[in-house]
Every structure is written in C-alpha cells, then in structure tokens.
Amino acid sequence: MAHNDTVQAAAAAGTAGPVPAAAERLYPAERLDRAADAAARAGLAALLLTPGPDLRYVSGYDAHETERLTCLAIPARAGGGTAGTGAAAPFLVVPRLELPAAQASPAGSLGLEIIAWDETDDPYALVASRLHGSARGRAIGLSDRMWALMVLAFRDALPGTGLALASAALRGLRQVKSDAEVAALRAAGEAIDRVHRKVPGWLRPGRTEAEVAADIADAIVAEGHARADFAIVASGPNAASPHHAASGRVLQRGDVVVVDIGGTMPSGYCSDCTRTYSIGEPPAEVRAYYEVLQSAQQAACEAVRPGVAAEDIDAAAREPIARAGYGDHFVHRTGHGIGLETHEDPYIVLGNKTPLQPGMAFSIEPGIYPGPHGARIEDIVVCGHDGAIRLNTLDRGLVVVEA
C-alpha cells in the first residue's frame, strides 16, 4: 500500500496539468457531490463507475475499457455533508500504467484521490476495503454498462451487498443537460448537418450502399467528430428496414434512400440525424406518405414543452400517421435521449410518463415503412422554457437527387 500512498500525494500536489475551460464547464467538479446526493436519494450506499458514459459524466475521464479495473467509487452523501471529506470521500482506482492518463484528464483536477494498483494486486478487494463495510446489507449502484466480469467480481468482493444500477441515481442528473452540454450537442448537430449536405453528391446509380456509407464515415470525422458511430444507408427495399446495415446493394435510379448518421465529438457528446433522399423522382405513393411524415414530425416538435409527458410527444407523432392509414408502418418509438450516449434517457415512447424539463435533449424521428420503400425524418431537439429548440436545421423535405 505504500505505492498507493505515494500516488495519492503526487496527485494531491497537482501532478495533473490544467484542464481546458471547456472541459471544466462540461464536467464541473460539483458533479461528484451531486452524484453522492443522488445515490443517497436512491437508497444506495455508493456508486461504482467503470469506463463508459457514467464515469465520464461524473469525472470527465474518458477511460479505456479493458479487463483491468478502472473504477470511481462515490459513497452516498448523507446528512448534507461534503462528498470530498472524511470516510465519505470518493476515490478513483486505476491500473498503474494508466495513472498518467487519469491524472491528465479532467478527473485529475477534481481534488479526487487517485489510487494506482499494480498487476499483482486485487483491485476489487481494494475498493471493497475502502468502503469500510458501509455497504454491507445495502445496495451499491454499478454502471449500467459495467462488464459482466466486473459485476461478478464485485459481487464476490462485497458479500452481503446488493447490486443495483447506477442509473437509479444518475438518470435524473444526466437527462437534464446544462447550458454547456446543450452547446456541445448543438456543435454536434451542426457538424452532422454539414455531412448531410454532402450526401446527395454520393448517391449515384451504380455505387453500393457500403461505398456511400464509407464516404459518410470519413466525412463525419472530417467535419469535427472524434469518430463515426454509424452510417445507415438504406436504399430501395432496404429503406423499409429502420436499422438496416449498409450492404453491397447497388443504388438504382428511382430508389428512395434513408440516411441515418451520427458520431461522437471530442467533447464526448453525440450527433444523430436522419434525412430521406430519392435518386430521381420517387414513386407517387412515397410523395403521399412523406407529406404525412413531415406533418407528424412537425406535430411532435410543436408538442414539446416543459411538463408534457414524454409519451405525449410520441402520441403527437403517431396520431397523424395513424389517421392517414399508416399506423401499422410506424414500428418504433418516436425518439430517444442523447448526450454522452446516442441512446439514453428520456425515451419518447408510450408508457414513459416522465414530464419534460428544460434541458432534456432527445430525437424526434417518426418513420413510415410500408415497403418496398420507407422514410424517416430525425432531428435532435432540446426542451426549452417555451418549447422545442431544434439542433438540426437542414430542410426536412424529401431530397430529390438528379439521377
């Protein structure tokens, strides 16, 4: 343990360099306290956050996902104390070889105790011992995306402790975005809009869906994303499959093409936007139901305001589609939350009675898929004090590409 003490002293002395102001705004230090409070409200003894969106949200640390344990432990804060003091202090356990990366991340500037473990150590026992038995007989919240091998290891290291999802505590925090988070999502939306503006130039008869998807993926990165997460290019009959993977199908004159694309920005925040294209003049029936689809998407956006239940936005999109006789061809929810994950709370779907709050960000993406073609329109919106704020500003009409 002497090695760990040395590491803690070095971190406390300011080994980490300065964190850019943008990162401080996106990942403020007070989130540790807010997470500790939320854990207490959820009835959890602590939160254990491994690499993924939960860890990054609370600490700003975008850690590698490997079999070696990296874990931020946040004991619940009871009685209005401070999460950073005494036995209730949070701590970050990292493999020694990843200590420099952890210290250089925003987590290194939080005043957070960082404990490095060596290859022959048992990091799970280390975490358990530092919780001082306070979790026995209670439940601990584990990152929703924690690997099963880590869940089982914590189960063995913490006998008598229940295991729950960290989202029970963090959901309410993560789904309401700060001004800095909204700005990051807006930048992501602007970047993906720039990619969509280039798509018509790639939709040429004789090219394959996969070739177009590759061009899109390159452009997603070129337009400012850290990585491309997906590029759905669904042409002809494939347009009736909402999650079609780009294939070797060759584009043809008269094809309707659904293009759903997104990526992750350097900030960690995601983009997601869908537009529908036609190579040459589309069939008349596509024109007819596309008008219905536009009305549905507009109606759902107009329904967004604080206090409205998430399921009511879904209903607003579904009603005009059902009235026009296409209800059976709208086969998915109207939307999903977005932030550090492409899909997160709140989900815009029947049964979700969560009232919208200013700062909630989510997609509105109704679709109609009657076959042998289909269409979808997707924008990311933020619930503002007076209604929806669209983060994607491209025209929502059917884009006809000259064949």
Q: Which of 297, 370, 309 is nearest to 334 (CA)?
A: 297
Of 131, 148, 174, the one marking the end of a domain is: 174
CATH of the domain at 206: 3.90.230.10
Q: What pLDDT was estimated at residue 23? A: 74
- Cβ neighbors of 174 (< 8 A, separation 6 or more) are 53, 54, 57, 339, 340, 344, 345
Q: Which of 60, 132, 135, 49 is nearest to 92 (CA)?
A: 49
Q: What whole-number distance in Å separates Cα of residue 86 and Cα of residue 322?
A: 59
Please check whether residues 109 and 193 belong to one and the same domain: no
Please check whether residues 120 and 227 belong to one and the same domain: no
Q: What pLDDT was estimated at residue 3? A: 39
Q: What whole-number distance in Å separates Cα of residue 40 and Cα of residue 391?
A: 34
The domain of 234 spans 179-401
Q: What is the pLDDT of residues 341-367, one digit of tens each?
A: 999 999 999 999 999 999 999 999 999
Q: What pLDDT was estimated at residue 1? A: 33
Q: What is the pLDDT of residues 34-72, one digit of tens each?
A: 999 999 999 999 999 999 999 999 999 999 999 999 999
Q: Which of 172, 232, 236, 166 is nearest to 196 (CA)?
A: 232
Q: What whole-number distance in Å separates Cα of residue 114 and Cα of residue 179?
A: 29
Please check whether residues 149 and 269 belong to one and the same domain: no
**3-class SS of residue 96:** helix
Of 174, 208, 232, the one marking the end of a domain is: 174
CATH of the domain at 168: 3.40.350.10
The model's confidence at residue 21, banded by pLDDT at 50, 70 and 90, is low
Please check whether residues 110 and 194 belong to one and the same domain: no
Q: What pLDDT was estimated at residue 14? A: 37
Cβ-count burial 205-218 (b if 16+ within 10 Å, e if not): eeebbebbbbbbbe
Q: What pLDDT was estimated at residue 134? A: 77
* Domains of the chain: total: 2
Q: Please check whether residue 112 is in contact with residue 73, taking contact to mean a CB–CB distance below 8 angstroms.
A: no
Percentage of residues in the chain with pLDDT exceeding 90?
A: 89
Please check whether residues 150 and 198 belong to one and the same domain: no
Please check whether residues 238 and 330 belong to one and the same domain: yes
Q: What is the pLDDT of residues 58-68, one digit of tens each?
A: 999 999 999 99
Q: What is the pLDDT of residues 116-159, one digit of tens each?
A: 999 999 999 999 999 977 788 899 999 999 999 999 999 999 99
Q: What pLDDT was estimated at residue 146? A: 98
Please check whether residues 45 and 157 belong to one and the same domain: yes
Q: What pLDDT was estimated at residue 357? A: 98
Chain mean pLDDT for the chain: 93
Q: Could you write out the DSSP letters of every residue in 256-286?
A: EEEEEEEEE-TTS-B--EEEEEEESSPPHHH
Please check whether residues 292 and 316 belong to one and the same domain: yes
Percentage of residues in the chain with pLDDT exceeding 70?
A: 93
CA quadruple 153, 155, 160, 161: dihedral, nearest 10: 120
Q: What pLDDT was estimated at residue 9? A: 30
Please count the CA atoms within 13 angstroms of the CA of 202 that sit on its side-chain side.
21
Q: What is the pLDDT of residues 288-315, one digit of tens each?
A: 999 999 999 999 999 999 999 999 999 9
| Structure tokens given for 163 | 């295991």
Please check whether residues 43 and 185 belong to one and the same domain: no
Please check whether residues 357 and 330 belong to one and the same domain: yes
**Cα 34 off chain centre by:** 20
On the question of pLDDT at 86 being above 90, the answer is no
- Cβ neighbors of 31 (< 8 A, separation 6 or more) are 57, 58, 59, 173
Q: What whole-number distance in Å separates Cα of residue 370 and Cα of residue 368?
A: 6
Of 174, 207, 232, the one marking the end of a domain is: 174
| Structure tokens given for 335 | 């939307």
Please check whether residues 310 and 339 belong to one and the same domain: yes
| Structure tokens given for 162 | 């229940």
For the sheet with 113-117, list strands across it: 113-117, 91-95, 71-75, 44-49, 139-142, 162-165
Ramachandran region, residue 102 (left: φ > 0; alpha: ψ -120 to 50; beta: rest) = alpha
Please check whether residues 186 and 159 belong to one and the same domain: no
DSSP summary character for residue 402: P
